[in-house]
Chains A and B, each alone.
Chain A
Amino acid sequence: MDTYSEIVEKIIQEQQNIIGPLALEQAHKVKGLEINIEKREYKLNGNKKEILDNLINQYKDIFGQTSVEVCKDAVGSIISQVPAGDIPAILQ
């Protein structure tokens, strides 16, 4: 699993801990993001930075800034593996 897929997985899992099935439901709405939970497949078709940014904003639009902080928390340990220029501004 590449780093971006790992980041997406961590964000969704962390959101699931808080809002349950709603987390996956909202993630499915993100354009360019294909999810197969059973197979643990998270495909980002297109600009990965943009797709990631959209995912986080999907949660932010409904649940506010707190949900953004949760996303940052979730990926804190692996975000350093992504080049700084490829990290969405919302995660910085």
Chain B
Amino acid sequence: MDEQTDSGGELSHIAEEMYKKNLELSERNKTLSLLRNIDEIVLSTVTNPKHVAQKIAQAIVENTDFSLAGIFIANERRTKFENYALNDEGGVIDEVSIETLLRTSLAKKKTQLTKEGLFAAPMIVRNSPLGVLLIGTSEPLARISEYKKNLMERLSGVVGIAMDSTLLYEQIQQARSKLQTANAELRGLDKAKDEFISLASHQLNTPITVARGYLDLLEEINPTPEKKEKYIKNAEAALVQMTSTVSDLLNASRIQAGRFFFDRKPLDITALAAQIVEQLSPVAKLKNLELTFLPSKEKIPQIKLDQSKMSQVIINFIDNALHYTEHGSVAASIEKINNEILFKVKDTGMGVPKDAQAKLFQKMFRAQNAQDARPDGTGLGLYLAKKIIEEQGGKIIFESRLGKGSTFGFSFPIDTLPK
């Protein structure tokens, strides 16, 4: 009888021991399965840190008895936490009230436990606190097994590494994107610089060649006084053009470097325009064009503007109009409408093709018909005009119809008036 009792007791003991071993194995399997799950999430194509966090929180709740899983990432000073994921189907917690719990957990680098069954486990990665893994259980605290407590601690380590990797990856992607943008910009600037140098070289070379040509003619042939005068005048004209080109290039360069300054003083635009129209009248006469200036019936008050640069703009508009008009007229006008002063130059010239209009005021852009009519242009005149007007608070006016003519001008608000 005793032997039987002994055997029965021994068998019972063996059964118990085997049960415990099986239980251990079962728990390890569950842990491994969950950790593998988390691994797969991190290695998946999901790269957005919040999406990764949400998937991890979901995996924790689905694969364990925990009723709640939340991942909170701390800011740099560890004063605030951003909710990256909170799987709380039971609506157990209020985010505001857990702030203190999260902060304490991170500050003490130790898991905190509340009577409501919330575990706040700090995620420490590379010796630095990253955030907090929050886990909730509806089990009475006294009943929570050692396995579950160990699992929570282990999860905070694994989830911490997972989130750290994902956040680092996102930072790398952002840095890479910024670098690509910067590289593209640099390539663009490099190309623009090369084009600019090429254009500048060409634009300067042409008048120098012309001037040299005429000066050579003076040396090699014994010209008549009339021819001499003509050669000298042509050489002079080429050099004047070169000076103008250099001036444009310098101004464009100054704009680029942020060194384009204005000397603004009260300016009578009407008087300035009238003077320029007078100066350019011989050019109009040579081409049999009618060049007129219509001042305003109402007195136009003076405006604080840079006279030299405004002169450049008005000359550019009228000179262009004369150059690109073969028949008809160029009419300049000034008027006051509501609270603005408007200056316009309207011509009956070749006009600007529609597809070129949007780019007309860009640096070095020239419409094809303009290039054909005036091959020596720099493509900087209108760009500079726009800059001069806009930097002083005005607006460019432009409209055109191919074959019918164009209107170029500017407006300034009355606020620009000297006080």
Q: A67 near B65 (CB under 8 angstroms)? A: no
| Contact residues, A49-87 vs B (CB, 8 A) | 62-64, 66-67, 69-70, 72-73, 76-77, 80
Q: B12 near A64 (CB under 8 angstroms)? A: yes
Q: A69 near B145 (CB under 8 angstroms)? A: yes
Cβ of B99 within 8 Å of any chain A Cβ, yes or no, is no
Contact of B143 among A17, A18, A64, A76 (CB under 8 A): A76
Cα(A8)–Cα(B20), bound, Å: 21
Contacts of A70 in B (CB 8 A): 23
Which size class do B's interface residues fall under?
10 to 19
Cβ of A19 within 8 Å of any chain B Cβ, yes or no, is yes
Cα(A17)–Cα(B22), bound, Å: 9
Which size class do A's interface residues fall under?
10 to 19
Contacts of A76 in B (CB 8 A): 65, 137-140, 143
Cβ of B19 within 8 Å of any chain A Cβ, yes or no, is yes
Cα(A67)–Cα(B19), bound, Å: 8
Q: A73 near B65 (CB under 8 angstroms)? A: yes
Which residue of chain A is the closest to B11 with respect to CB atoms? A62
Contacts of A19 in B (CB 8 A): 19, 22
Contacts of B143 in A (CB 8 A): 72-73, 76
Contacts of B137 in A (CB 8 A): 76-77
Q: A77 near B67 (CB under 8 angstroms)? A: yes
Chain A contact residues, CB within 8 Å of chain B: 17-19, 62-64, 66-67, 69-70, 72-73, 76-77, 80
Q: List 29 A-B contacts (CB under 8 A).
A: A17-B26, A18-B19, A18-B22, A18-B23, A19-B19, A62-B12, A62-B15, A63-B16, A64-B12, A64-B15, A64-B16, A64-B19, A66-B19, A66-B20, A66-B23, A67-B19, A72-B143, A73-B65, A73-B139, A73-B143, A73-B145, A76-B65, A76-B137, A76-B138, A76-B139, A76-B143, A77-B65, A77-B137, A77-B139
